[in-house]
Structure 1
Amino acid sequence: MKFSAASSLIGNDFASRRWHWPAAIAMSLAALTVAISGCVISQPMTGLAHTAIPDLHASPERLRDHVRVLSEDFLGRGFEQPQTLQRAADYIVAELAKSGVMAERQRFEVDGQGYENLIARFGLAEGTKPLLVMGAHYDSALTHEGVPTPGADDNASGVAGLLELARLLKQTTPGQPVELVFYTLEEPPNFRTNDMGSYRHALSLQQRNQPVRLMLSVEMIGYYSDDSGSQSYPLAPLGWIYPDKGNFIALIGEMKNFSEMRRTKAVMRASGGGPNPLGVHSLNAPRFVHGVDFSDHLNYWRLGYPAIMVTDTSFMRNPHYHQRTDTWDRLDYSRMAQVVRMLAAVALDTP
């Protein structure tokens, strides 16, 4: 009896295991697929770059002052208030001049009204090597109720970052041609149209057959949170791979921009420095993923140029996105300064 019972139990156990093996294998393959996919889109093992980076210091105080002026003195810097938008452009030109940088005004018309991108050039002359473009839009959005937003994070933070970056690059010489571009008309009603300032700039590069190594869209770099659950993602599984605290800077690119992402991420990580270095996380994703093309890099993708968005992840973290509460006092200027130093390192990195 004991033997028969034991045999029965062994037989049942074997049968049970036999039926569970396919499920176990399927689950293991699924887990492996998720792990491989996570590595492909996030590049977790990206090593540190070895390019020597000068000890450039980005000023949190200058960043704060720029954001405060842009968000308070030029409230309503949008398509609906072209005079205010023009005053903001003039401020950018004047601040560049204070750093000894001349700005080219790229003018164009929309519905009979003039608008302009502002372009500052550094390093080698165009044509010697492929161009590195770093751009940020200086216009701001309306709320859903049609009220102008201060646009401190969106995108006075990016503009302030480029103004401080221009000051740093004036102190050294990049070993590649670099353009810092301040775009107009990124926000609705012009978003996804050929009237976006970034489309006009990208098209001008294409028309003169200018090779582009990479474009970086500096889109909202000032909002951070160390609270658990402060970071969300467009797809739930991404929460298994990335942090749940919104205390890092993100790089967003297409799947085909894998190599450009790898080098950019490595350089930015290596240049973070300090006792509390800012985390750098990346995502290579198809364009259909919600939010991955929500800035000026979209137009460089459209024209076949490699492009990456540098961002605090916008509405995936910042509850004040496109609200009247997007004010200068809610931003973290020390972490912004770290991002600017990282951008300087990318500009000075010569492939």
Structure 2
Amino acid sequence: MNDGASAKTLERPKRGRGRFAWVAFCLALAGSLFFAGIRSPQPTSANHTASLAVAAVTPEKLPTKAIEEVALGDRVVGTNPDRSEVEPTAEPDSKTWRHVTLWMTKGNGGRLDIELLRPLAWLEAQEATVGDTIHLDLEEMGAHGPAVITAIAPCPEIKPGDGNVVTGRFIHQAAGNIVDLRLANQSEATGVTDNHRYWSVDRKQFVPAGQLRRGETLDTLHGRTTVASVTSRPGNDTVYNLEVHNEHVYRVGTVGALVHNSYITTSYGRYVRRVDNYKHSLDPRHVKSAAREKAGEVVSRKESGVPYDHLTETRNDMASAKRHIVNIKKHLSDRNLSKANRAIIEGELGELSNLLDNAENILGELAR
């Protein structure tokens, strides 16, 4: 995406590719980041919940900075294993870019504060001045609707060095969707939004944190490790989303797990969460119990002594899954669906289709 076209970013951004990599990494306030080319002291808090570690140098050499202190123009480093997603472009130029501050009201009524680095060409194309309201349609950042420009300031100095430039900050209160993710070699859990995606070595794709399975293999700065637990965190913490230039991944947590720079948004996340439910109800073991009941066997009983009806439950779930597949396909036709979200939903659709096919094979004529 060139400077001239970047004016369309707020209208219909090309998410996941091009000049602006829309990074949506949500961490709790006490989190810390690992940077390239920044020397700052290690965090002293004993109860910090999360940190970013970005590849390109060894973990021991990566300086850290609290996430709430990350500034536009700072550099973070990371390498995307899918090079087809990366389109190297010229870095922001302090002379021709500006620091734009905005705020907007989110769909849930909460406030979203935004800071962006943008080229002068973008500002001119938007005819943007302080006090103006412009339309944001940054699906992957949770920013959709009118946003008020409160300041336009000079761009900070962009220092040369390793890593990619932070070009955006998004600050808001989480809507109760934070999870604590702990890995096998991690002493502390990482607080992260459940829709932020980690690289699963087992599945060879990025998977939302809330859907990672215990024992699933992840890639870290220290090598491969497994998921020990994923638990919901009560409350509504302050979270920070970052926009990073060029690359679409970086590393999170005290061990530096590899994550994608975008997350699946609430509007489409509900489809993925429903698919996740079917992964339990159409699990082969459950369907096999239904098949045994079809053959006349009593597989299990309720506390009252009444036989459990796996057969009817499975039949209903299969019918519901078929309707859900139709709905997913309809939403995949949405031209405004980002490439990143489309890839997630298509992957989930494939899994659900496989579960349904397997259930039909097990139950035979019953499911037809």
TM-score normalised by L of structure 1: 0.25
TM-score normalised by L of structure 2: 0.25
Instruction: Judging by fraction of residues, say which structure has more helix.
Output: 1
* Bigger RCO of structures 1 and 2 (CA < 8 A, at least 6 apart): 1
Instruction: Judging by fraction of residues, say which structure has more strand.
Output: 2
Bigger radius of gyration among the two: 1
